[in-house]
Chain A
Amino acid sequence: MTLETTSWPSSYGEAAKPRMGFFTDTSVCIGCKACEVACKEWNQVPDSMQGFTGNSYDNTIDLGADTWRHVAFIEQRVPAGVLDGASLVEAVQRGEAVDGGVQTYQEGDGFRWLMASDVCKHCTHAACLEVCPTGALFRTEFGTVVVQEDVCNGCGYCVPACPFGVLDKREDDGRVWKCTLCYDRLKDDMEPACAKACPTNSIQFGELSELRERAEHRLAHLQGAGQQHAQLYLADDDDGVGGAGAFFLLLDKPEVYGLPPDPVDTRRDLGTIWAATGAAALALGAGLAAAVWGGER
């Protein structure tokens, strides 16, 4: 079944809820960072001042233990929504940029500004959850992935297992933290704080099947308007993580936004890994026996 994860909905039976997620349409993100602020306030995430980076307006830097939403800012010299090479000013005058539905461009001579609010992907095949030795990471009834703070012992295994670099350890606390997709708010039929705060509906929250349908329309609009590089990211079940609960509409390649172009759940290679590990253990046994009974040399 599409959207199905390893332990949702099967392990919840009647208690399973529809799989919920985010569709982040970066083409209408204005870089206001309301999502970052709302997330911090609601989830009481500690401050994460890391100084002034000089990387456009991005001083949040990346996702981590204390940054569960991160707005990326990319500055490019690419005329926006303009097929004939006209300047952006001309395109704006002709209404092309607006018709293209792209509102993320600063007025100017072909300067394009990409903004995107990144978040935990709540993968269908979540490596963090699979490698967690304590079971602190679990799949909720909404199909999302959440760390139980009363179970996590800070072993750190999920940190390098995540192909997106989402999880990290909070140093003074010792445990790992990440986006919960506002599990507490979902329990009370409320939408996550970031989606609630987003003024342009760049962050859309809802049932994943519905969001995917909405995203297909949006992609068709943008492609039809000449946005040839518009692309849906993590919107299909057959990619390396089985698709994600939080997926994106991007206007350039994923790596431009700091996202991996082909993330893969490490569990897919676990069979090979255990086989090699077993073979090496047997070889070690044989080597020890050979050393002990190896003759007189």
Chain B
Amino acid sequence: MTETRSYYGQPVIKQPTWKWEVPMYFFTGGVAGASAGLAYLSGLAGNDVLARRAWITAAGAIGVSPPLLISDLGRPARFLNMLRMFKVTSPMSVGSWILSASGTATAVAAVNELTGVLPRASKVARPAAALSGLPLSTYTAALIANTAVPVWHEGRRWLPFVFGSGAALSAGAVAVAVTPVECARPARRLALAAAAVEVASKEVMQRRIGEAGEPYEQGAAGRFGNLSRACIIAGATLLARRGGSSRPLAVVAGGLLCAGALSARMSILKAGYQSAADPKYVVGPQRAAIRRGDRTGSSRRESKLHVIEPAFGSPATAPVQHDALGGQPMAGR
């Protein structure tokens, strides 16, 4: 492609202002959401040991999530403004409500699991937590895809699957680490399947978005991406071979997989920042679409006027007499 023209190579769009708390929340929110589902279904299937551990995991992970998000706000004291409206056009607004609902339900379910109080409430809370945990695990992908950041916006069809499988991966990984091996079989299956989907879906996304996906290979995003793949492959291999027989090795495998899932989120975040910072990825695809004729762009060289007046030096002195656009004739200023 031809070289992208820019204004002194400066960014056209702003990089997000989100700090480390946000990718960390993407991880903890995923752990919480998928763990709630795993806990509820394991309970239904009669695996009470796994269910109990997964409920506690879900409650812990969802418990640290609001503090992470609040500390990333520029005005933490105004965190309740997040619930001032419900806007489907804002995945962050939708997510705030999902997190509130899921957090409440998960807390009730976990308290019941630990103490036995709230038996009636937990009958509703358990399925509610499991159900709300699903969008809790994937809405964060909608949040970043719904921006002008090319690498995120172009990946909008795949990002939710990357995030969903990442949630399943990390929930399974925590569960294999905290559950006795004889009860952890579903968690092992979950972690191994999700590991494969996570690595594959991120790879597919990167390839399908073409040039826009280049930032995934560059700088910090590339390093986190490599780290993520290495951790996931090592953790999955260890888990598949020894995870069913040795608890210490299952703990190590779970730790590696969690590190891999978190690194993948870091990689995605960093790729977004890098893609926003380089006008090549913002202007390049826009100009290319105009050149191909797919888009008309935002500028136009032809005047809508048919009558061209003699040239004047300045619009300040140019009288406007024609009523070409259907509006009222106006005086010069």
Contacts and interface: CB of A to CB of B under 8 A. Distances in A.
A220 B308 contact: yes
Contact of A130 (B90, B168, B272): B90
B314 A155 contact: no
A292 B16 contact: no
Contact of B148 (A213, A225, A238, A266): A266
Interface string B141-167: 111011111000100111111011101
A201 B75 contact: no
A197 interface: no
Contact of A229 (B10, B93, B153, B301): B301
Contacts of B276: 160
A89 interface: no
A243 to B, nearest CB: 8
B89 A200 contact: no
Nearest to B80: A153
A133 B87 contact: yes
A7 to B, nearest CB: 11
A273 B156 contact: yes
A72 B87 CA distance: 36
Given A168-B14, A210-B327, A157 B90 contact: yes
A262 B289 contact: yes
Contact of A233 (B10, B141, B299): B299
B10 A61 contact: yes
A285 B137 CA distance: 10
Given A218-B318, A270-B89, A273-B156, A169 B330 contact: no
A35 interface: no
B5 A253 contact: yes
Given A169-B17, A291-B189, A266 B147 contact: yes
B6 A258 contact: yes
Contacts of B211: none
B304 to A, nearest CB: 5
Given A217-B322, A261-B287, A134 B85 contact: yes
A280 B141 contact: yes
B195 to A, nearest CB: 12
A146 interface: no
Contact of B299 (A151, A161, A261): A261
Contacts of B248: none
Interface string A245-265: 000001001111111111110
B63 interface: no
B320 interface: yes
A262 B145 CA distance: 18
Contact of B305 (A99, A220, A236, A259): A220
Contacts of B299: 231-234, 250, 253-254, 261
Contact of B286 (A168, A219, A261, A270): A261
A163 B7 CA distance: 16
A279 B37 CA distance: 16
B301 A291 contact: no
B120 interface: no
A163 B276 CA distance: 10
Interface in A251-297: 253-264, 266-267, 269-270, 272-274, 276-285, 287-294, 297
Nearest to A167: B14
Given A216-B324, A289-B41, A255 B5 contact: yes
7 contacts: A53-B8, A136-B81, A151-B78, A175-B74, A176-B74, A209-B327, A289-B41
Interface of B: 4-8, 10-18, 33-34, 37-38, 41-42, 44-45, 47, 72-76, 78-79, 81-82, 84-85, 87-93, 96, 134-135, 137-139, 141-143, 145-149, 153, 156-161, 163-165, 167-168, 172, 186-187, 189-190, 193-194, 197, 272, 276, 279, 282-283, 286-287, 289-290, 295-305, 307-309, 311-316, 318, 320, 322, 324-325, 327-328, 330, 333
Q: Which 7 A-B pairs have the closest CB atoms?
A: A154-B74, A174-B74, A258-B7, A280-B160, A153-B78, A291-B190, A133-B93
